[in-house]
Chains A and B, each alone.
Chain A
Amino acid sequence: MIEDPYNAVVRDNFAHPGHAGDVPGGAVGYFEDQGMRIRLSAGVAGGVLQRLRFRAWGCPHVLAACEEFCRQYEGRPATDLEEFETARIMEDLAVPVEKTGRILVLEDTVRSLGQAILDLTDTPQE
């Protein structure tokens, strides 16, 4: 293998998953497929994603994608989740095309999280 299979973003996110964990009492989205398992939890106040946390079982690209999602969406309106697509994260992380299906598990988890937020009003904060 000549090229490093992981770019700098993947390596940084994998080494420093600052958003790993849970938001106690928050909205929760969960999805599993292709052997990957992802759980997202969010604390929402005033329609804003105040805190985003993830737990995941998967390859480095999946873990890094989860961290990247949390970094990019924390502080944004919860309604932005409806427009989430994996394309940008795939590009930022230089995910190999054969792993597209794994990253789509994140997309499904985000959908699940969006639905969970709709099911709640404002969720408690830590």
Chain B
Amino acid sequence: MTAAALIYLDYAATTPLDPRVAERMREVQSSAYFNPASNHVAGRQSARIVAEAAADLGALLNVEPASIIWTSGATESNNLAILGAAKQRAHRGRHLVTMRTEHKAVVDVFRALEKAGFDVTWLTPGPDGQLNLETFEAALRDDTQLVSIMQINNETGIVQDIEAIGRICRSRKILFHVDAAQAVGKVPVDVSALQVDLMSMTAHKFYGPKGIGALYVARGTALEPQMFGGGQQMRLRPGTLPVDLIAGLGAAAAVAVHRIDDDLENLVMLKERLWSGIRSIEGVSLNGSVRGTYPGILNVSIADIEGESLLLALEPLCVATGSACNSQSQEPSYVLRALGRSDQEAQSAIRFSLGRQSSKEDIDFAISAYRSAVRKLRSLAPGVAA
């Protein structure tokens, strides 16, 4: 099936390259392929490109370019931030706090730390997906060293109150890490106003290339390196920098600075159109809410429908059951289970995620396909009138 034949509503999994990003990367690949660590004129040319990209990303986040560490993506950023901070501060205490609804790239890192002897408190959100701040404060201890909370949930689009959580952490001198993979480049993120110490992001979620991400590290935040082998990036993340990918990330950031408001306005309209089109189907329920969540994600469950069959019946519509990282598993989403959804509700969940190229026609197709698929599967089920 060609890309043209698909209706793509899986932008939370990945986004297409913006043409301006692709053009910038082609320029760099052909004219500035040099190692930016090389101490000659060509190397300095590549180093300037890296610096420009850091400036573009810094402008998007309102941070100093020097606070950005390049990584291979959000998974590596999460690993470096969480492992690096926990180990660096282990002599002060070994208590860590996170949520059950975090991405696997955070959950599995904390599980590894638990096996290494750290004490992790796993917070459960309310039925609306929000972290209760009183519950959060009550979980903090004198030996708590690190809190990690994602900004926008990749399955539900639920947005946490990062500013309030950051304020609490700062007042207790606890490091605060934010997995912002679904936020950066999609919603305004003013890191300087958020009292965040560490923030993970990745380019391919906001129309940049795959294979490049970044970790924001606030000044004075010490991390223990997790990789060794060179002196690049203050020895915190050694390895030759992929200049073309970094240039692509920088270009995506520069585009986002100018596009975020328009993108959001369009997404709000499309999400409301989508929800209006399917909400009247008997048994449909929303995981999250239409407002108060990121407008690029709509996650719905439906009674008495099998999720895998629903996904196949929706083709050529490209949507997700659970997170893309979990899509090969038929296990119900642990995120939705943490919100109190039943196995059947979680298993039937479909995540529609919209993006810059999504159109009204795409949404109308999705509404029609969803209604048709539900009608068909219900007509096949025993005990339900055809």
Contacts and interface: CB of A to CB of B under 8 A. Distances in A.
B382 A14 contact: no
Given A20-B380, A57-B381, A14 B386 contact: no
A60 interface: yes
Contacts of B306: 35, 57-59
A39 B380 CA distance: 10
A71 interface: no
Contact of B312 (A6, A17, A30): A6
Interface string A37-74: 11100000000000000011111100100000000000
Given A1-B327, A1-B328, A30-B382, A59 B308 contact: yes
Contacts of B380: 17, 20, 55-57, 63
A57 B304 contact: yes
Interface in B360-386: 379-383, 386
Nearest to A6: B312
Interface in B287-316: 304, 306, 308-309, 312-313
Contacts of B330: 59
A70 to B, nearest CB: 12
A21 interface: yes
Contacts of B309: 14, 58-60, 63
A20 B375 CA distance: 13
Contacts of A39: 382-383
Interface string B319-349: 0000000011010000000000000100000
Interface majority SS (helix, strand, loop, mixed), chain B: loop
A107 B300 CA distance: 33
A14 B312 CA distance: 9
B381 A60 contact: no
B381 A55 contact: yes
Nearest to A98: B330
Interface in A6-22: 6, 14, 17, 20-21
A9 to B, nearest CB: 14
A59 B312 CA distance: 9
A57 B309 CA distance: 9
A55 B382 contact: yes
Nearest to B304: A57
A21 B386 CA distance: 8
A37 B381 contact: yes
Contacts of A35: 306, 344
7 contacts: A6-B312, A14-B309, A17-B380, A55-B380, A55-B383, A59-B306, A60-B308
- 7 residue pairs, one from A and one from B, having the closest CB atoms: A39-B382, A55-B382, A57-B381, A59-B308, A60-B312, A20-B380, A60-B309
